[in-house]
Each structure stands twice: as structure tokens, then as C-alpha cells.
């Protein structure tokens, strides 16, 4: 977009936020996520109601935080009864070995008593000697500790894929490799993880995984991603906001006392930086769209899950650090935004899991006001009919 378009957008956003402030007062300043809780869509409310009924919690209205407490109680009970869950974690990387090593260390520090972990690292064209030394050292450590790691239920695969970077292809091919390798013992769940992430608490992985097992309707599962300075990088992905999709609340201060963090939330989509999904769901939608090499593949994937009647969820009080500025540049972003917009149309622009009362102009939540379904289309030279 040109400078004039950017200035116009900022003016529109300012007007919408002032109007929202006049309507709701300082709630929206004290807690920028307050609108996301107040203006939940019918589909979001229905998803919560269905989960409550399925867990046998009851049919009445739950107090804030009660669903989370019941879910965690249910998960603890299930953990003591369930056999080991098969989980494959796929981490693509290219050089930046120190960061990748820290990510792997963070993963291995997670509680894994009920998890059989298969770690699949995908080396996409690393060239630095430091990276090769790091890979060799990891293999050596793994081999020396084979018995201990197997006792913990852990196996390691390191794949080399030197084709030009394509996030979708790298992850799809890793899943295909693991599927061929384990024809008789398919991994139940897949975790797609960026190499620039660090888990905060040792029970984070366990909580995400056991939540995913609660209902056959649960599609992708994610969490809150934080920048290095503890501001919010990702609560969830909102389709149709600021072009293809945006992160509501990105850059705000994180306050775990705010209502948003009290309970699991049904959302339209979550980021591929940390995305957990059942293998059977991944295969039913044919994985990530390989036409989306650098961006929007996570959004597209979550919409495909929705298309099959599945619900995407986040656990807002599970926190992971995401050093987003360390990831690769998205060279084809404009082309991919156009592709996704054309592919999904109104299901992108007015997704049922993001309130129609919230604006699509602004990444920071605000009330919509006399705007079309996809207001940004006028700024990127797209006609409404193409959606």
C-alpha cells in the first residue's frame, strides 16, 4: 500500500477506537481484550456450550475461569487413565542453530510422562558449519542417551530438504515421511513448531495435548505467544482483518488477570508458529496448501478444518515466547493474500468464529461502523466481486 492509503487506514482506525471508547468507556483501555470476550459470536458461544455439555460440567452459565478449572480437572483425570499419547513435533529450520537448539531444549524440558515424543527436525538448506556441528552434536547426545530417552518415550529424526523455502511443503513432507516410517503405529497428534519459540512452563505441552483429546470436534489447538518483552504477539488469527488476517491485540501488554485468559476460547484460526492438531484431521484436509509457501498457510489450514465442522481453540493461559523477528521474510505475501482472499471469499471476510460486530479495519479490537464485509479490498485494488 502507498503512503496515502496507510494514512487513510490510520485515520479510520483512530475514529473507530474513539467511537468504541465513547460507547464502552475505559474498559477498552484498561483491558484491550475485553471486547473479544463481550462480543463473542454465536458460533463461539455454541462451541463453549457444546464443550461444557460434552464434559458433563452442566448446562448453566459458568463463572469466568470455571471452564478452565473443569477442563484441567478433566485432563488430570484423563492423564491418570489414558495410555501414552503419540505426538510428533515438526520443527523446520535453516541455520540459526543456537536458536533451534534452545527450542529443542525447551521442548525436552516439558513434562512427558504421558507422551511418546517423536521429534522431527527439517533442515531446509543450512550452510553454516556451526549448524552442521550442532546437528552432529545433537545426534551424538541422542545416541549416547538412547536408553534414557526411550524410557521417556522420545525418538529423533533429522531430515534434509534443500528445496526453496516453502513452509507448507516442508511440513507436509515431514508428515508423509513419519507416516511411511510408522505404518502400523501412526502418531495421534502433530505439533508444528517454529524454531524461534520457547515454552514458558513445564506443563504447557501436556495441557495443550490433553485439551486436544477432549472432543472429536476440536481441530487446531494453540496458545498465547509472547514477544521477548512479554507483550502479546498472538492471541489468535482473525480472518479478513487487515487484508487476509491479523492478530487481535498484537503488541498489547499481557495481563493474565484479564477475562480473556480465564478460559479456553474457540477462535477462527491460530498461527502456524505453534499449531497442534490430530493427525487424522491433518490428513483429511490434505495438510497445508503448498501454493502458500511463506504466509497464510496456517489461516487457510484452520479454515479447511472449519469447513469439515471442526472447531479451533486456544488455551490463553498457556504462554510460549515467540521471537517473531527471527523468522524469514515473507517475499510472496501480497500474492498469497490475494490467493487466500479469492479462495475463501466471505468465509474469510466474515468468519462465523469472529464477531461481526468487531471491525475488520483494525488489528486492535474495536466496534465496526458502517463498513463493508471486506473494507480493505478497496486499498489493494480488488473488486468486491472477486471475493
Q: What is the pLDDT along the chain (387 residues), one digit of tens a residue?
A: 567 777 888 888 899 999 999 999 988 888 989 999 999 999 999 999 899 888 887 655 677 778 888 888 877 777 777 678 899 999 999 999 999 999 999 999 999 888 999 999 999 999 999 999 999 999 888 877 655 555 455 789 999 999 999 999 999 999 999 988 876 556 799 999 999 999 999 999 999 999 999 999 999 999 999 999 999 999 999 998 987 889 998 999 999 899 899 999 999 999 999 999 999 999 999 999 999 999 999 999 999 999 999 999 999 999 999 987 544 555 557 788 889 988 998 888 889 999 999 999 989 999 998 887 777 666 655 433 333
Ramachandran quadrant class, 192 (left: phi over 0; alpha: psi -120 to 50; beta: rest): beta
Q: Can you list the pairs that 47-53 forms with residues at least 24 positions away whose Cβ atoms lie under 8 Å?
A: 47/217, 47/266, 47/311, 47/313, 47/353, 48/263, 48/264, 48/266, 50/215, 50/217, 51/214, 51/215, 51/264
Is 93 within 8 Å of 109 (Cβ atoms)? no
Domain range spanning residue 301?
Answer: 3-386
3-state secondary structure of 251: coil
pTM over 0.75: yes
Is 387 within 8 Å of 374 (Cβ atoms)? yes
Distance CA 368, CA 359 (A): 4
3-state secondary structure of 248: coil
Is 87 within 8 Å of 117 (Cβ atoms)? yes
**By C-alpha distance, which of 377, 275, 365 is closest to 38?**
365
Here the cell at position 265 is 476460547
**By C-alpha distance, which of 116, 155, 161, 115 is closest to 139?**
155
Is 275 within 8 Å of 220 (Cβ atoms)? yes
CATH code for position 148: 3.90.550.10
Torsion of CA 300, 301, 304, 306, to 10 degrees: -100
> Based on the structure, what is the number of domains in the chain?
1
Instruction: Please count the helices (runs of H) and the strands (runs of E) in the chain.
Output: 14, 12
**By C-alpha distance, which of 314, 303, 300 is closest to 232?**
314
Looking at residue 373, its pLDDT comes to: 72
Here the cell at position 32 is 484491550
- The CB density around residue 280, as the number of other CB atoms within 10 Å, is 11
Amino acid at each position: 500500500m502507498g503512503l496515502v492509503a496507510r494514512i487513510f487506514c490510520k485515520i479510520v482506525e483512530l475514529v473507530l477506537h474513539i467511537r468504541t471508547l465513547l460507547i464502552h468507556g475505559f474498559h477498552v483501555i484498561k483491558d484491550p481484550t475485553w471486547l473479544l470476550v463481550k462480543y463473542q459470536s454465536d458460533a463461539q458461544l455454541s462451541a463453549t456450550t457444546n464443550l461444557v455439555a460434552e464434559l458433563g460440567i452442566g448446562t448453566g452459565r459458568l463463572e469466568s475461569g470455571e471452564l478452565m478449572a473443569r477442563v484441567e480437572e478433566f485432563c488430570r483425570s484423563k492423564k491418570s487413565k489414558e495410555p501414552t499419547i503419540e505426538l510428533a513435533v515438526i520443527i523446520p529450520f535453516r541455520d540459526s542453530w543456537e536458536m533451534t537448539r534452545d527450542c529443542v531444549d525447551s521442548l525436552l524440558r516439558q513434562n512427558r510422562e504421558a507422551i511418546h515424543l517423536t521429534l522431527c527436525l527439517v533442515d531446509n538448506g543450512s550452510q553454516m558449519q556451526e549448524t552442521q556441528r550442532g546437528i552432529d552434536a545433537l545426534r551424538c547426545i541422542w545416541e549416547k542417551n538412547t536408553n534414557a530417552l526411550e524410557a521417556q518415550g522420545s525418538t529423533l529424526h533429522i531430515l534434509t530438504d534443500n528445496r526453496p523455502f516453502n513452509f507448507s511443503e516442508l511440513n507436509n513432507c515431514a508428515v508423509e515421511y513419519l507416516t511411511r516410517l510408522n505404518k502400523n503405529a501412526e502418531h495421534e497428534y502433530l505439533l508444528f513448531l517454529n524454531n524461534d519459540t520457547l515454552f514458558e512452563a513445564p506443563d504447557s505441552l501436556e495441557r495443550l495435548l490433553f485439551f486436544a483429546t477432549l472432543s472429536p470436534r476440536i481441530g487446531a489447538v494453540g496458545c498465547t505467544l509472547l514477544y521477548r518483552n512479554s507483550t502479546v504477539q498472538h492471541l489468535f488469527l482473525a480472518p479478513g482483518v487487515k487484508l487476509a488476517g491479523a492478530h487481535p491485540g498484537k503488541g498489547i501488554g499481557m495481563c493474565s488477570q484479564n477475562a480473556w485468559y480465564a478460559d479456553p476460547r474457540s477462535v477462527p484460526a491460530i498461527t502456524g508458529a505453534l499449531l497442534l492438531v490430530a493427525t487424522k484431521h491433518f490428513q483429511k484436509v490434505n495438510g497445508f496448501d503448498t501454493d502458500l509457501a511463506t504466509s497464510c498457510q496456517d489461516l487457510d489450514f484452520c479454515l479447511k478444518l472449519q469447513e469439515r465442522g471442526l472447531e479451533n481453540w486456544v488455551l490463553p493461559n498457556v504462554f510460549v515466547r515467540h521471537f517473531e523477528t527471527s523468522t524469514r521474510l515473507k517475499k510472496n505475501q501480497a500474492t498469497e493474500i490475494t490467493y487466500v482472499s479469492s479462495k475463501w471469499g466471505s468465509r474469510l471476510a466474515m468468519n462465523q468464529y469472529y464477531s461481526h460486530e468487531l471491525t475488520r479495519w483494525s488489528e486492535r479490537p474495536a466496534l465496526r461502523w458502517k463498513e463493508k464485509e471486506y473494507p480493505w479490498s478497496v486499498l489493494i485494488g480488488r473488486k468486491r466481486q472477486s471475493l
